Chains A and B, each alone.
Chain A
Amino acid sequence: MRTIGEHEHPHNHANSELREQTLLELAMRDTTDIQETRRATTEAAAVLVGVQRASVWRVEDDQLVCEDLFLRDEARHTSGQLITRASCPTYFTSIRQSLALRARDARTDSRTRELLDTYLAPLGIGAMLDTPIWQGGTVSAILCCEHVGGPRRWTDAEERDSGRLADLVARSMEASTRRAAEERWRIIVESIPQYVLVVDEEGNVIQASATAKHAIEQEGGATLADRFDTLELRDLAGELLERENWPAERARRGETVRAEILEFRSRVTGDARWLRATSAPVRVGQVLHGAVAIYEDIAEEIRIERVKREFLSALAHELRTPTTIIKGYAQRLMKTRDLNAEEKRALAAMARASGRIEHLGEALIDLTAITLGRIILAMEHVDLADIVLRAVEAAPASRTHAVHFQPSREPARVFADPLRMQRVIGELISNAARYSNAGSPIDITLDADGGYVKVSVRDRGIGIGAIDRPHVFEAFFRGNAGAPNDSGGIGIGLFLAREIVERHGGTLSFVSEQGSGSTFTVTLPLDEQKP
């Protein structure tokens, strides 16, 4: 077989002017569209290298897949052909190992002759110039220039051009992979059902989920900054948050914000919703590059919580009628004559038990009213001494302990809800009794001084340990459950007492020493109004 020289071949290697022009055009193209790049590359390869067939094949583990084949004589593209690894193991290994596989006579070349029967002979291919396309350190594809006819000697210039084209495809593949990854990431962020905002180091929103975009766009301002101006975030206490304290802003300064509950309000749409906010700084190495913030709508959780509280409230109210009945019949029966001692004890126990149910029910009503934000105090101008006296008289502890009340020399006028304040004092007395021995003293003092009125309830009981002290006013906390006179309870007495005192503009505090007792003090503002 005769080798065709450069000058004799009809598809000569292109002259230098055409080469420059073709390469320049390729270089100026936008290479992010990989499919377009492949087509342009195979066409350029056919022209520059001067072959009838130029193609790009994707290299997979066990096969080659033709991604684009340009047939120069027919001026058309095709794709999809497969060559399996099993049919040509040597060729497969060779293309991965060479910088360029130059097969002058492909039908006899040890690296390519495996392809003879299935590929070279049927297609009339005599010579091949295969250039690997490298991506991330591996050969991900090859650029094949195939000469139809007999053997052909490939020149260095042709190999160089083929190499340049392979580089171009490699760059395009990288760009398109990167773009696909960015696009995928954009779509992922957009699809997240929560409100997601990604901000840059200056706090500008650079990415957002569709839900967040929608919420922000509804604000209708001309710029994003305008739109944020009509949004408000408040904390659980209802305090308006300054922009610099919004979760994403805090995260932008390096703080991680974990699951904080905030209320979001739009001054434009009037929309208000509860959100759980989580935000973290975006760091590249040690450098802060902005932040990502996720806001989750927790309307459903809030609704369920509300339903639970409404249920508790309804339950507590429903207790009122049966309690009235039990208490009332017990009281009536106690008035009948001829009761024996056992019957009297039984009726007294019933009265006490119904009193406890009543007490729990009323505490539950106050608790739910406080947590539902609907406690209403029935304020009156009263003397606190009268209230304390009534509380002392009603306290069961007056029968078990040495309760002593020392009123103030000055009048102790306060503006207060008398029933609730009596319950507060009663709670302090029963708390004192619960944690001290029967018969031990409980001293109550009342002082009016310096614009304030103070009621102190002091016991000589077991006191409160250092570990328990911070939790004394927590709802459902019960220190020393099972103490000497512990009559049970659900641990909301002191929590409620403090809530009620604070709603009167006062404070409830305590001092305690383990082993020597506790003193709880209610401080209320002195009523300015003269009686």
Chain B
Amino acid sequence: MTRLVLIAEDDPDLRELVALTLRDAGMDVVEAGDGREALALVVERKPSLVLLDMMMPVMDGVEFARAVQKLDQPPPILVMTAADRAAQSAQMIGAVGWLSKPFDIDALVKTVSRCLERANQRA
């Protein structure tokens, strides 16, 4: 089972925290600081899951999701957001789930693992 997670988050400290936590939980991680970088990594590395911050420079979460849906095998997206109505944004872009900031790291690992399992079952 592939466990490559792409973290698209513009805040480097949060990105590092998420990356460290997921690596500790045995996952592989690639990181992107904006939507465009993330899109390139999706094409290049074909991650099993994208952990997506909705508010990013250059290309935001909504634009990124729209571009990803046009790919052959779009990876599932898990939304990370500091905005209200996380569930609505997740639904709007067709994400498989959401994490509202501030989340704690146990919840992060639990949610990401569940999404990965489902993604692998589908694949």
Contact = CB atoms under 8 A, between A and B. Distances in A.
Classify the interface of chain B: helix, strand, loop or mixed.
helix
Contacts of A378: 87
Contacts of A321: 11, 14, 82, 101-102
The interface size bin for chain A is 10 to 19
Given A317-B82, A365-B84, A331 B14 contact: no
A325 interface: yes
Given A317-B82, A321-B11, A321-B82, A327 B21 contact: no
A332 interface: yes
Nearest to B108: A328
A312 interface: no
Contact of A328 (B83, B85, B104): B104
B84 A329 contact: no
Contacts of B87: 378
Interface string B101-112: 111111010000
Interface string B60-74: 000000000000000
A117 to B, nearest CB: 95
Contact of A327 (B18, B24, B104): B104
Interface string B16-53: 01101100100000000000000000000000000000
Nearest to B99: A324
A96 B105 CA distance: 100
B82 A332 contact: no
Interface residues of B, number: 20
A7 to B, nearest CB: 107
B107 to A, nearest CB: 10
Contacts of A354: 102
A258 to B, nearest CB: 37
A222 interface: no
A317 B83 contact: yes
A369 B83 CA distance: 12
Contact of A332 (B20, B84, B103): B20
A325 B17 contact: yes
Interface of A: 317-318, 320-321, 323-325, 327-329, 331-332, 354, 358, 361, 365, 369, 376, 378
Interface of B: 11, 13-14, 17-18, 20-21, 24, 82-85, 87, 101-106, 108
10 closest pairs, A vs B, by CB? A320-B82, A324-B102, A320-B101, A323-B102, A328-B17, A328-B105, A324-B101, A325-B13, A331-B105, A320-B102
